[in-house]
Amino acid sequence: MQTFMVMTISVVVPTLNEERVLPGTFPHTLALGFDEVTVVDGGSRDRTPDILAPYVSARGACPVTVVTAPCGRATQMNLGAALSRGDVLLFLHADTLLPRDAKAQILQALGDPACVGGRFDVRFERDEGWGWVISRMMNLRSRWTGIATGDQALFVRRTAFQKVGGFPDIPIMEDVEFTRRLKRAGAVAALRTKVVTSYRRWERRGAVRTIVLMWLLRFLHWLGIKPERLKQLYGDAR
């Protein structure tokens, strides 16, 4: 019978002005049995700090730490990783809901010593029309290329995270670059169980327009256009 090493899992959540989604996603995350949650806020100007404060003082089964950092998802996630103590790091966007058995699925995937990390499939909260099509395209592309995005709840062994140098300090495409490096370090699990994430980016800009924009950004990134310029084109969707 195969036995698995006991591993602790730290969840790292980068936030910036997430008052609309945190009341739903944060309690859900805390109920899933992870060992700790570290929130790294990029200077929110809404009620995000107020929403998180009671969880810090509650001192429940899953300790919550909230710190601030210069705004930038890569910077925030790298700091969260440095402050966390888990054997495994799970990077979770504030607008994303994990499946109920997320912890068990991560531990099962990493029960294979060759597996250095992984990601989940994704679906949008609006799982119909363009939302249905886009999420299925994202999952197929990710499975085919081995490259994932932060919407898919990336998880990684701490040792592998350190080996690849963490997230590159760039303002956009940090998740793409990180997973590209990670798959060189070992096997990356593509879990078919889905996380549920917000459709706000696609809803705000329009589905077709956003699809074109995302493929354009990836193409320009491949051509070597500086991430700072790409970030200007991307903007923000909060």
Q: Report how far residue 182's alpha carbon sits from residue 166's, in angstroms, rounded to the nearest whole number.
A: 9
Above 60 in pLDDT, residue 80? yes
Alpha-carbon distance values, 99 to 96, 105, 179, 207 (Å): 10, 9, 21, 25
Name residue 172's amino acid. I
Q: Residue 39 has what pLDDT? A: 98
Residue 1 scores a pLDDT above 50: no
- Give CA–CA dist 72/36, Å, rounded: 22
pLDDT interval class at 200 (50, 70, 90): confident
The pTM of this model reads 0.88
Residue 190: burial class (beta carbons within 10 Å; 0-12, 13-18, 19+): middle
Kindly state the percentage of the chain with pLDDT values over 70. Answer: 84
Fold of 9-203: Spore Coat Polysaccharide Biosynthesis Protein SpsA; Chain A (3.90.550)
Q: Which residues contact 66 (CB under 8 A, 6 or more apart)?
A: 38, 39, 40, 41, 49, 52, 53, 55, 56
| pLDDT of residue 107 exceeding 80 | yes
Reported as a pLDDT band with limits 50, 70 and 90, residue 3 is very low
Number of H helices, E strands in the chain: 10, 8
**The pLDDT of residue 48:** 98
Q: What percent of the chain has pLDDT over 90?
A: 69
Q: Check residue 43 and give its pLDDT.
A: 96
Model pLDDT, residue 171: 80
- Nearest to 61, CA basis, from 34, 22, 25, 88: 34
Strand order in the sheet with 96-97: 64-68, 36-41, 9-15, 88-91, 154-157, 115-124, 187-197, 96-97
> For the chain, what is the mean pLDDT?
89
Q: Residue 47 contacts by C-beta under 8 Å, 6 or more apart in sequence?
A: 19
The residue written with tokens 């074109």 in the block is 212
Angle of CA points 183, 195, 205, to nearest 5°: 95
pLDDT at 233 over 80: no
- What value does the mean pLDDT take over residues 21-31? 96
Lowest mean pLDDT among 50-54, 122-126, 186-190: 122-126
Distance CA 97, CA 57 (A): 23
* pLDDT confidence tier of residue 2, bands split at 50, 70 and 90: very low
